[in-house]
Amino acid sequence: MALTMLTGRPNKRNEDKKDQRPSRMKESAVKTVALNVFPKPSRRLGKYGKKYWQTLREELGPSKIVTAADIPLLESACIAYNVYCELEDEMNESVSKRFTTTALGGKILSAESIESKRQLELAIKILQQYGVTPLSRMRIRGTEPAAADPLGEFRERHG
């Protein structure tokens, strides 16, 4: 058996293009479309949640950043805000509901106070993603293109 010396570059393999692996980016890309019309508030939002939903509608509706997938998350933020407001109303009726006395006689926050704070924090965390809080509003709206340079036309002519 004799060995033969090969010279040059080997040929490319002939494969069908169907056998090639498709790009993962194309497969995993999710098509998201912003809502043109902000939906009406759900029945489960409660009195304060519905009022806050209207605020969100006015704030986020024109910005066109909300998709259909975002609606349940915004609803949960409104529900958390509603629970917070109802607990605060209940605790404002009497100061004794805000604090409880321990067995040793010390004062600590009641369960309602702790839950009220937790619900408010939850609502704020959700709403920060949509630019509803003052700081996040600056981040989202700060990306708008700068206004046209009033002297730009003059500079182009006299460059």
CA distance 119 to 47: 16
pLDDT per residue as tens, the chain (159 positions): 677 777 777 676 665 555 566 555 555 455 667 777 888 888 889 999 999 999 888 887 777 778 888 888 889 999 999 999 999 998 888 777 888 888 888 888 888 899 999 999 998 888 887 777 666 555 555 445 556 666 667 667 776
- Rg (the chain; Cα; Å): 30
Domain boundaries, the chain: 40-138
CA distances from 88 to 4, 77, 93, 101, 114 (A): 90, 17, 9, 19, 11
CA distance 114 to 45: 21
pTM: 0.61
